[in-house]
Structure 1
Amino acid sequence: MGGVSGVEGEGGPGARLGVVLAVVALAQFMVSLDLSVVNVGLPRIGAGLGFGAVGLTWVIHAYALTFGGLLLLGGKAADRYGRKRVLLFGLALFGLASLAGGLARDPGQLVAARAAQGVGAAALAPAALALLTATFPAGRPRVRAFGVWSATNAAGGALGVVIGGLLTQYAGWRWVMFVNVPMAGCALALAWRGVAGGRPAGRGGRPDLLGAALATSGMVLLVFGVVRTDRYAWTSAVTLTTLAAAALLLAAFVHVERTTAREPLIRPGLFANRSVAGANLFNLLVGAAMTPAFYFLSLYVQQVLGTGPALTGAMFLPFTFVLVAGTVLAVRLGYRLAPRSLLVLGGLLTAAGLAWFGLIGPDGSFAADVLGPSVVAGTGFGLCLGPVVSVATAGVASHEAGAASGLLNSSRQIGASLGLAALGTAAHHRTGRSTSLAALTDGYALGLTVGAGLLAAAALVALTVLRRTSPAVRAERAADRGPLPVRD
């Protein structure tokens, strides 16, 4: 396994590479799983705890917003205090919050537990990804390592629907929370014994806690304002005031990041890197499309097609299989094609799949309305996962690896929450007060079709913003001759 960094503690030769990869893969699988494992259980969660139709989306928002809003702080903490230390903290908090969520007795307790899960994920995800980046910095080992990472990331998100369905039907919805506890414990034990501590990559000023609070609260208010348009019109005083307050908080965040005497969560100059800027915009659009897609499809299969939770989960297995196959294909193509080409191809394929999903009807079936689109969308999505991570962290200084990793994860989660808020609200407006199968299907189809448009926009971003860099195999051959060749 050549190309392993000999500096910066965790990336040094003393680290057991297989254990590092196993810890990172398990941590990412758990984080991705938690984004989708609750989807199939939402109807029973709502009935069991008394959630309203729109309020139920906060089971997803609470996790996605704290996760996305605090990821930059998590990445900065990993750079300053050490990746292993922050990873252990995140794993412990995630496991405890999952236990608390499984024991929840009212909506407020479950939403609070989901928010705490997001805080834990915001600590562990960037620390794990920065650890992977430092351990496998270049060449074929990096391509293979990110292939494993992207496969577990894909499998976690896709298998979450399957696992959630089985647990909800045969063990009860509370087990969609409890399932994380043993995984967190296993990853914690592996990281404690198998990951070298090392020195932190950077020891700058203290992380900007005010900036983190402003970013998170601004995003929460923004999503809250969009979601509440089911009760208050876009032009109402309530909605306009909420959105204005969100804009002020986010503007204050930008100002603080530029002027703070502390270590900013994200150095503004980092966005001058076209790879970083383009990859994060691509990731935000993908998150805004795919999270609502899982949400709408889970509800369509259960509420329109009348399928039980376990069988609903099984219907997502083809998507899971081709998603993992897509990540494997991306590794093989990564030796021949530039990452930008894979992102364009993957984005367009996924857009085509969601557009096909948008043709669902109230008298549909699994074979006609779910299977075919799953194969197309799953393949395309799998092609995107590894390359976007590699692009977003390539050329970033070691002391900013955690921040860049946190930014990438943050863009996906913020996109997920904004997309679910906007597309969910649009679908609710399209459905109106009708509870007929035709009306429900019409709303879900609208959300899926708009998601296809967002993915097409993501492919356009990859084509126009990202630079055409060399494939991994040529980059490895050129490693001894200097920097990677880059063509505009």
Structure 2
Amino acid sequence: MTDLSHPEAPAPDTHPEEGKQLHLGWALVLISMAQLMVVLDASIANIALPFIGNDLEIADANLTWIVTGYALAFGGLLLLGGRLGDLYGRRRVFMIGLAVFAVASFIGGFAQNEAMLLASRGLQGLGAALASPAALALITTTFPAGPARNRAFAVYAAMSGAGAAVGLILGGWLTGLDDVVGLEGWRLTFLINVPIGLIAAFLAPRFLRESESHPGELDVPGAITGTLGLLGLVYGFSRAGEEAHGWGDTWTIASLVAGIALLVVFAVVESRVKHPLLPVRVFNNRTRATSFLVMALVPAAMFAMFYFLSLFIQLVIGYSPLHTGFAFLPFSVGIVIGAGLSSNLVNRIDPRYIAGVGTLMAAVALFGFSRLSVPTGTDDLLAVANSGGFLGADVNYWSSIFPFIVLMSIGMGMTFVPLTLTAVHHLRSEDSGIGSGVLNTMQQVGGALGLAILGTVSLHFADGTKTDLARDLATKGVPPEGAKGLAYIGSFTEGATAAFLVGAVLIAIGSAAIWLFLNVKHEELATDGPETPVHVG
């Protein structure tokens, strides 16, 4: 059996375990299925939130924790999950993560109260934090460097990027199945994970090879300070993005300050321990550090796009939840096309050009969304209210939204594949799990930060308009509650388009970083093994 963890070991599939090379396709199916399940669960419950709140009598203010609780546990525990895979075997941790996720989904599907549901969401986040970095690391230990690994990363990136859109579609469909299966439809958004997770965990030993374990090398002080620090940041960013709290909230500030302080302590600890949770050498490569940075900026804008555009399509245009989910179907198709295109190009073209063009395409798409416009005058609002219609009912999806969804999705596919390759390329074998954990952490924390920042931008631009509209509507005899609701709809577009514009700027900054600092050649991606020992400079 090949020593998969030793730095000077040959390429992962040079001497694979007997029979494993015949099942690379099935190995990819398992890894991709697990990644899709983990990613889509961040959005699949969104559409079902009103139904969950009604059935379990959860206050509106606490409904957001069904989404935030998952993101909090997932983002906060990713570094630890990645390191546990390195130390105790990536296949083992992958299987444990899937099993935990499935059990948590079962608990959530049959939750009888708020506490039970929120606990299950936190447990799902733990399972995802164990399975996701292990899944990415398993690609590097299962597929040989070059075209085979590039294709595997393309599928992985497509699953990661399309997961949010698939979650919206699946959530909308399952939520409407109440009369078919005899259960509340929202429960199916959780229960669907149970057979998928258990089957993937059961089949993993057959199609995936185990990495060498290093028990006893866990950095406990680093695990505690790093995990709590990330939890503090994700919680603070998530709370800052909520209208009821914002950046000035005491607990938001306290959480962010505590998170930063703990991460400073974490950095000190990591510089002194023999077996650090996060080896500094992971960041010593300029291309790798650039990949991590951009993979924080891009999801920050992409997740915010899903959030604001889905609300715009429902609240302003008037689509139903299921119709809204299908409005994002082109994104799932486009990102698969972009990922497939980039996986072929990366064998012949340097990653800088592929990811650079991809980010520019995404920035243009977000700028296109920022040009969305609907009539928002007082008379327009009154006319819509009296007719029972929607403010933006005449917005043409095919000309105003569809082209930019396609452009952004292809751009994202062209970005994720080369950056995933460059983020984990030439890592030492024993660091591939933590490298995957860092990459996933950047995406999760970046997404939380992006939603918080762009949510603040949206509120800032919408608040002034909302106040003026509510006042004008009141003078025309509209009751206070009705005036408040109409003013919100009327001001939402202005806030959302401002958020799209800032998102375009974020991706443009990421694109500039790619063009300036991502200097790995495409020929290097066809090689395996760690870099030379000299990492300084």
TM-score by length of 1: 0.88
2:171 to 156, 164, 175: 164
- CA 1:165–1:115 in 2, change beyond 3 Å: closer, same or farther? same
User: Hey, what's the Cα distance between the residues in 1 that align with 2:528 and 2:459?
Assistant: 53
User: Hey, what's the Cα distance between the residues in 1 that align with 2:60 and 2:365?
Assistant: 27
Specify the alignment match of 2:110 in structure 1: 103
User: Hey, what's the Cα distance between the residues in 2 that align with 1:223 and 1:177?
Assistant: 25
1:366 matched to 2:405: no
User: Hey, what's the Cα distance between the residues in 1 that align with 2:111 and 2:396?
Assistant: 35
Asked if the contact 1:144–1:331 (Cα under 8 Å) also holds between the matched residues in 2, the reply is yes
1:36 to 9, 30, 43: 43
Residue 239 of structure 1: CA displacement?
5.1
1:410 matched to 2:441: yes
User: Hey, what's the Cα distance between the residues in 2 that align with 1:259 and 1:382?
Assistant: 39
1:122 to 129, 138, 144: 129
- Structure 2: which 5+ residue stretches go unaligned? 6-11, 179-184, 375-391, 467-483
Query: What is the CA deviation profile of residues 366-409 of structure 1, one whole-angstrom value per residue up to 9, with x for unaligned ones?
Result: 22332111111111011112111100011100010111011101
Amino acid at match of 1:354: L
2:284 to 244, 268, 272: 272
Specify the alignment match of 2:344 in structure 1: 332
2:209 to 184, 191, 196: 196
2:138 to 131, 141, 144: 131
Amino acid at match of 2:269: V
- CA 1:360–1:168 in 2, change beyond 3 Å: closer, same or farther? farther
Amino acid at match of 1:289: A
Give me the identity figure in percent. Answer: 36
Amino acid at match of 1:439: S
Residue 204 of structure 1: CA displacement?
6.2
Residue 66 of structure 1: CA displacement?
1.8
- CA 1:445–1:102 in 2, change beyond 3 Å: closer, same or farther? farther
2:306 to 285, 294, 309: 294
User: Hey, what's the Cα distance between the residues in 1 that align with 2:397 and 2:168?
Assistant: 16
User: Hey, what's the Cα distance between the residues in 2 that align with 1:157 and 1:249?
Assistant: 31
User: Hey, what's the Cα distance between the residues in 2 that align with 1:329 and 1:268?
Assistant: 33
1:19 to 26, 29, 39: 26
Specify the alignment match of 1:308 in structure 2: 320
Query: What is the CA deviation profile of residues 256-299 of structure 1, one whole-angstrom value per residue up to 9, with x for unaligned ones?
Result: 222346x3221123211112211110110112111121111221
1:176 matched to 2:189: yes
User: Hey, what's the Cα distance between the residues in 1 that align with 2:447 and 2:308?
Assistant: 13
Query: What is the CA deviation profile of residues 172-205 of structure 1, one whole-angstrom value per residue up to 9, with x for unaligned ones?
Result: 22222222112112211211433334532x4561
Asked if the contact 1:39–1:295 (Cα under 8 Å) also holds between the matched residues in 2, the reply is no
User: Equivalences for 1:459-474 in 2 at 5 Å?
Assistant: 459-471=511-523
Amino acid at match of 1:246: G
Amino acid at match of 2:237: V
Asked if the contact 2:247–2:253 (Cα under 8 Å) also holds between the matched residues in 1, the reply is no
Specify the alignment match of 1:88 in structure 2: 95
1:59 matched to 2:90: no
User: Hey, what's the Cα distance between the residues in 1 that align with 2:429 and 2:354?
Assistant: 26
User: Equivalences for 1:242-257 in 2 at 5 Å?
Assistant: 242-257=255-270
1:218 matched to 2:214: no
Larger Rg: 2
State how many pairs are aligned.
473
What SS is found at the alignment partner of 1:173? helix
Alpha-carbon RMSD: 2.8
Amino acid at match of 1:389: T
Residue 28 of structure 1: CA displacement?
1.2
Asked if the contact 1:361–1:438 (Cα under 8 Å) also holds between the matched residues in 2, the reply is no
What SS is found at the alignment partner of 1:331? helix
1:457 matched to 2:509: yes
Residue 39 of structure 1: CA displacement?
3.1
User: Hey, what's the Cα distance between the residues in 2 that align with 1:428 and 1:104?
Assistant: 34
Query: What is the CA deviation profile of residues 125-163 of structure 1, one whole-angstrom value per residue up to 9, with x for unaligned ones?
Result: 111111110122412221222222223333433322211
User: Hey, what's the Cα distance between the residues in 1 that align with 2:244 and 2:300?
Assistant: 19
What SS is found at the alignment partner of 1:67? helix
Amino acid at match of 2:135: A
Residue 60 of structure 1: CA displacement?
2.6
Asked if the contact 2:91–2:204 (Cα under 8 Å) also holds between the matched residues in 1, the reply is yes
- Structure 1: which 5+ residue stretches go unaligned? none
Specify the alignment match of 1:435 in structure 2: 485
1:425 matched to 2:456: yes
User: Hey, what's the Cα distance between the residues in 2 that align with 1:73 and 1:128?
Assistant: 14
Specify the alignment match of 2:387 in structure 1: none
User: Hey, what's the Cα distance between the residues in 2 that align with 1:189 and 1:405?
Assistant: 23
2:426 to 385, 391, 395: 395
User: Hey, what's the Cα distance between the residues in 1 that align with 2:206 and 2:290?
Assistant: 37
What SS is found at the alignment partner of 1:435? helix
Residue 252 of structure 1: CA displacement?
2.2
User: Hey, what's the Cα distance between the residues in 2 that align with 1:423 and 1:53?
Assistant: 21
